[in-house]
Amino acid sequence: MDVDKKQERKKVLEALTRQGILDAAVNLLTREGIQGLTMDRVAAEAGIAKGTLYVYFENKEQMLEAAIDASFDPLVRECSALLDGDLAPDRKLEGFSLCHLRFFDEHRDLIRVLLFDRERTHFGKSRYTDGRYRTSVKRVADVLDDGVRQGLFSTLDSMKVAAMFIEANMGMIMQRIHDGISGDVEKDARQITEIFMKGLRKRK
């Protein structure tokens, strides 16, 4: 086996080991919450030596952040494809809500830990300063600006309205989790966007 093939094989094995660690961390988080997440238990869950964890992550906090990022990657990719697509701005906003509600509905046990356990333990960064949150606000603001240019929306402060829109989605998600509601995400996504598009005032 030549040097290039050995290096490629090593990279593949390292990627698989790292993914196995992240999968183990997510499984533990889902079952037992942040307090149950320790380096020893993740190593046991992944079936590797504890020392191997430190080859990839310096500490529990770094591993947790990487696990969260990996968990949200599918949602980020789906939303990015949607917002970069050819749909009209109002359809993009409805699709954005639907993507988030569907994802959070399918991963509700993990999300419950991240939303509630994380707040109780004050672990990690506030989501308002988190890069993923700020990026989402900016992406939605860009869609709103497009809508204004196309004459679909009234003139508005796009960053503030984008933050309001994302908070409405998070509020709906937390309400669904708190009340044990699952399924029928299309109805709730449509309700969010209709309120933003039409407002609460009853039309005569």
Predicted structure pTM score: 0.79
Q: What is the pLDDT of residue 50?
A: 92
Tokens of 44: 């046991």
Domains and CATH numbers, the chain: 1-70 (1.10.10.60), 88-204 (1.10.357)
* pLDDT tens-digit series, residues 164-187: 999 999 899 888 888 888 888 999
> For the range 32-40, what are the long-range contacts, defined as Cβ-Cβ under 8 Å and sequence gap of 24 or more?
33/113, 33/117, 34/64, 34/113, 34/117, 34/118, 34/121, 34/123, 35/117, 35/121, 37/64, 39/63
* pLDDT tens-digit series, residues 24-48: 998 988 888 888 889 999 999 999 9
Q: What is the pLDDT of residue 120?
A: 45
Residue 140 has pLDDT above 60, yes or no: yes
Q: What is the pLDDT of residue 122?
A: 44
